[in-house]
Structure 1
Amino acid sequence: MNIALLGYGKMGKAIEKIAVDREHEITLKVDSKTTSFELDNVDVAIDFSIPTTALDNITQCINNNVPVISGTTGWLQDYDKVVALCKEKDGAFIYGSNFSIGVNIFFELNAHLAKLMNGLSSYNVSMEEIHHTQKLDAPSGTAISLAEGIIKNYDSKNNWTLENPADTDIEITAKRIEDVPGTHIINYTSEIDTITISHEAHNRQGFALGAVLASEWIVGKTGVFTMKDVLNIK
């Protein structure tokens, strides 16, 4: 496949290595110095840019009939616009707050644990996420996805917050530490014990591999998909 990398930072470079190892070709690299780009000779685009450019990148791909994978977080206030455009243009789009196979399994584990804990009023759920100091958004998109998975299955929580939580809020603690790819910890705490599940990324390779797998999967399809579709998670 011919792949466009929309965002050529650390993640873009990690994706490039895996894509080339899998015998794909990178035909376009867009970085912070790029003022405009064309999508000629591109089979699929992978967007790991920044929140302020993600919407324009994704829109340009859909308007040019190029399937697009986006792992950029912090722009989701416009997600519904992208879904509507994708349906209008018969495009193909996947957004993932995290493309790691392990994290997507963790999403399912998190939702299942929330179902088990639902109704046990002696426990309070909270979350901690840790990322590198270059991460622009807080909490992480992965943390928000995890919180949404809890809220959907845990009746006593209907929101998340970074500070001053109400009884119905999931408190998320966001830490930024040098060279941490991504750690997410969920605690259910009572007076007598704590139940903890966590996922710790050792490097960026899992995120990059998942994005390449998603790009391989989406070519030839139309619609709005998630990593659950890519991984056939029911």
Structure 2
Amino acid sequence: MVFAENQYQEGTRDTAWVFPGTALDGFSSGLESLFSQHVLRLPNNCTLLIEGDECRAVYYVRAGWLALSKALEGGQNQIIDFALPGDIVDPSGADGVTASVTVEALTDGALAAMPYRSWETMTGERPALHHLAHRMESAMHARRAERMLRVGRGAAEMRLAYALVEFCIRISPDSDGRNCEFHIPLTQQQLGDYVGLSSVHVCRTLRRMARNGILEMRDHMDIRVLDPRSLACLAGVDVEALKRAIMPQGA
């Protein structure tokens, strides 16, 4: 299902909630009105943009999970990143008008879709918002670099362990790491597309982690980390350092 980019629905959420950290800078009633007119609701499994489409907006994820992916002509798919609530997504490439990735909703969700010109005006007039967006972009590059290192050089356990540590941090940023329990709305194929493994390899590796007492899986992708130290060791990360790199304070 492809969801046309210009099918906006009106919403009434306060802009200070949608862009955390910007309340100190304030929003005029005019900007609040503009923002509320660009709310987009997405049903599960719909496609917002296809790679190569014209892209005319920057998106703020208010609810739900998005997958950003690329595919080869033969159909092989690689998930580049997941956008979670609180993330800012600019799908365009260097030309500023063409989507460089396909963007799909993995769950029911809601986005704030700001036309580029409106977004540039908002960030230009509000240094706090510009700074926040810059830090969030830096966090995105940091997490992609960490995962790329492991996809390129790590074994299956390292790749999956890193992905789970990253999910734990992003879903539960206030967790102390000792009681991390979360749900990821992914199939094993989608998780494999994220870390460069087949679904069979993902299944076997997760089962091995469970047998070794590192994690527990319940229902469909309900993850409970039982041994966070061993999981971090498999991932090759210092959790606190990773958290500082991929979760900007105040975002």
TM-score w.r.t. the length of structure 1 is 0.31
TM-score w.r.t. the length of structure 2 is 0.30
- Structure with greater contact order relative to length (CA < 8 Å, sep ≥ 6): 1
More strand by share: 1
